[in-house]
Amino acid sequence: MNVSRRTFLASAALFALVRPNLLLKEELSALAEEPAVESFNRANLSFAQSNDVSFGGFFGTRYKQSLDRLTASPIDNVPFVLDDVNFNQQRRFFNYSGDISGRYIEVASLASTKDKPITPILPQVIDEIVQYQKEDGHFGREVDWNKPIDVAGSTDQSLEMPILWGNGRLMLGLFAAYERFGSEKAFAAAKKMADFYVNVVVPRFCDPNRMDEYEQKAKGYAAAYVTCVFHGIEGLVRAYRLTGEKKYLDAAVHMADFHEHFDTLPVGHSHGSISAHEALVMLYEETNDQKYLDRVVKRWNDAVYQGFVNPSGGVCENYIIEGHSDEGCSEADWLRICLMIWRNTGDVKYLDFAERMLYNEYQMNQWHTGGFGHRYMISDDKGCFAWGERYAESYWCCSYHGPLGYYELKEFFAVGSVCPKTGVDMVYYNFPLEFTTPLTIRGVKWQIASRQTDVSKEFPVKTIVTVAGAKKGGALKFAARIPDWAQKVEIKRKDEVLEATVVNGYAVVDVNSGDELYISYAAVPFLEDRRFHKIATPSESGQVNECVLRFGPNVMASKANDGSKIEDVTLKLDGNGVLQLPDSLTCAYDMSNDERCGKHTFVFNVTVEK
């Protein structure tokens, strides 16, 4: 359970008692003298299937609401879902053939079990959609693919690029339907789509002799060449993983290498850009070619530290600094890319950013219906400084991608591993949330059950973790991530404080099957600049302009305002130099759904008073 502002204010005295002993994560890392107990290696990681992970508490409820949205109007009928391939209704974005139908099939299939679809219409959608596939393998209008690209029309008027965008989503959906339900019809259609990319898309749209055509500016950014072509790489990698046919991997490599010329910031569409980078991570995992991961890491660093990522953890719909709105799809992709990079590097900063996104921007983007969409963002030339009002629940894209982000996050709550050097079995406890995760490490079954508990005055985030193994008395290393907001992580077994070794951002202890661990995270409010760098808390009265106030995983915000400017706020220091949170501030976690619809500033000019 997250601590509220009132709980913090009531506990300020006790925080003051413990603060002299609290260390920042950087200082903790410097104290670790023992060699790393594990060399991080993706090949040694053991993930639970998302559907096998139970997800409870506040965020589990939000995930369930996002899945329930798939069974509500207008998504709850087959004609609506299939309109982008059979054009029976002429609904909005109908030229994006596969954007709704593909996304719907993907997330609904993944979240289903083989015997129990999560939506009643899913089997019919999968069964009917394949009949609309064209002879060359694509879905949508008939197109002469050799004619010059038409990008002069608006997003709703364009044809070729929207078809490619939608087909990229639909290929993933059909592969997901095959993986979950064993649908041979879905598999055959998806494979034919992959062949369409091999035979048509790659030679036609990755031709170095047509660069002038590719570089022309599109009137509709969501129908631009760079947006719509390259996210198809993900489906090609998926095709290779499922078939083993190298032609799909070769096509993905060709597209990824050609994409590098267009892989820049700023760019018109963050969702398309980050989707392409997700595909690059997948390509790295298949080829072990470091250049693909390096490109993703470089882009991540540029986005974070140059202002394309705002302090709430999100990105704008347009991948620019001075953006006017967010997009649920982009927020889900930012969450996913952070998890994917951690999976390949082991660097906990990516989990820190995933957590920041989850607690802040993700909650502000999710609607009371459970769906996701758009809200206005208020920015200046340094980036976004406030949430504006929500203005559209995007059931044509975001309401599918939002639950997909939650779905993939579940696999990262607790992750098993084996050290190739020492042979030590380990569990990474990455997020102090409510969940139960089954893991199999070298054939031995474990279960990690985490529940949030009442906070104490000293520690605002607390969990109880039960470690259960198939063999009583079995031992492993338990590694609890030390969040960037925590000054101290304490792990107890009954009344015994376990001595932890701090390694690579984790507090590592020895545990046995049957142990019940009490994990407490200490935190005090602290300041950051607008580029995520911590600012030392003033020891005396003073002024700190254009800064972000954080407490625990939360980015603090004004309760309500017009969002027109960076607000002034006064923070008092107690006698021990701890910042006190005024009642004028709140956070996404504490807001009601109605409050999340309003305008809230999250960058402040802070006056500190002693």
Given strand 373-380, what is the order of strands in its sheet? 373-380, 383-393, 600-601
Mean pLDDT over 556-572 rounds to 92
Mean pLDDT over 457-470 rounds to 87
Which DSSP category does 139 fall into? B
Mean pLDDT over 246-261 rounds to 98
State residue 540's pLDDT score.
Answer: 87
pLDDT tens-place string over residues 167-202: 999 999 999 999 999 999 999 999 999 999 999 999
Mean pLDDT over 10-39 rounds to 38
- pLDDT exceeds 80 at position 16: no
State residue 45's pLDDT score.
Answer: 96
Mean pLDDT over 330-341 rounds to 98
Mean pLDDT over 26-50 rounds to 65
State residue 364's pLDDT score.
Answer: 98
- pLDDT exceeds 80 at position 163: yes
Neighbour-count burial of 30, counting CB atoms closer than 10 A to its CB (0-12 exposed, 13-18 middle, 19+ buried): exposed
State residue 365's pLDDT score.
Answer: 98
Q: How confident is the model at residue 26 (pLDDT cuts 50, 70, 90)?
A: very low
Separation of alpha carbons 256 and 250, rounded Å: 10
Nearest C-alpha neighbor of 218 from the set 152, 269, 265, 157:
152
Give 212-239 as a DSSP string: HHHTSPPSSGGG-HHHHSGGGHHHHHHH
Mean pLDDT over 305-322 rounds to 97
Query: Residue 39, Cβ neighbours under 10 Å: how many?
Result: 14
For helices 328-345 and 290-305, the axis angle rounded to 10 degrees is 130
406 touches 459 (CB < 8 A): no
State residue 33's pLDDT score.
Answer: 36
State residue 276's pLDDT score.
Answer: 97
- pLDDT exceeds 60 at position 239: yes
Tokens 């809200």 locate to: 375
Separation of alpha carbons 17 and 589, rounded Å: 27
End-to-end alpha carbon distance in the chain: 30
Phi, psi of 570 (to 5 degrees): -105, 130
- pLDDT exceeds 60 at position 4: no
State residue 5's pLDDT score.
Answer: 35
State residue 223's pLDDT score.
Answer: 80
Nearest C-alpha neighbor of 255 from the set 270, 235, 269:
235
What is the value of pTM for the model shown? Answer: 0.93
Mean pLDDT over 9-34 rounds to 35
465: tokens are 């973790």
Label residue 557 left, alpha or beta by phi (over 0 means left) and psi (-120 to 50 means alpha).
Answer: beta
Phi, psi of 212 (to 5 degrees): -60, -40
- pLDDT exceeds 90 at position 579: yes
137: tokens are 């393998």
Separation of alpha carbons 603 and 569, rounded Å: 10
User: No. of H helices and E strands in the chain?
Assistant: 21, 24
pLDDT above 70: percentage of residues in the chain: 92
State residue 38's pLDDT score.
Answer: 52
Q: How confident is the model at residue 479 (pLDDT cuts 50, 70, 90)?
A: very high
The identity of residue 207, as a single letter, is D
337: tokens are 């890319």
Mean pLDDT over 382-404 rounds to 96
- pLDDT exceeds 90 at position 11: no
Phi, psi of 374 (to 5 degrees): -130, 145
Q: How confident is the model at residue 457 (pLDDT cuts 50, 70, 90)?
A: low
State residue 155's pLDDT score.
Answer: 73
Mean pLDDT over 359-375 rounds to 97
pLDDT above 90: percentage of residues in the chain: 81
State residue 472's pLDDT score.
Answer: 67
State residue 220's pLDDT score.
Answer: 74
State residue 420's pLDDT score.
Answer: 65
Average pLDDT taken over every residue of the chain? 91
Separation of alpha carbons 508 and 321, rounded Å: 39
Helix, strand, or coil (residue 253): helix
Mean pLDDT over 263-271 rounds to 94
- What structural domains does the chain harbor? 23-46+413-522 (2.60.40), 54-209 (no CATH), 526-609 (no CATH)
pLDDT tens-place string over residues 533-559: 999 999 888 999 999 999 999 999 999
Dihedral sign for Cα 362, 364, 370, 373, please: negative
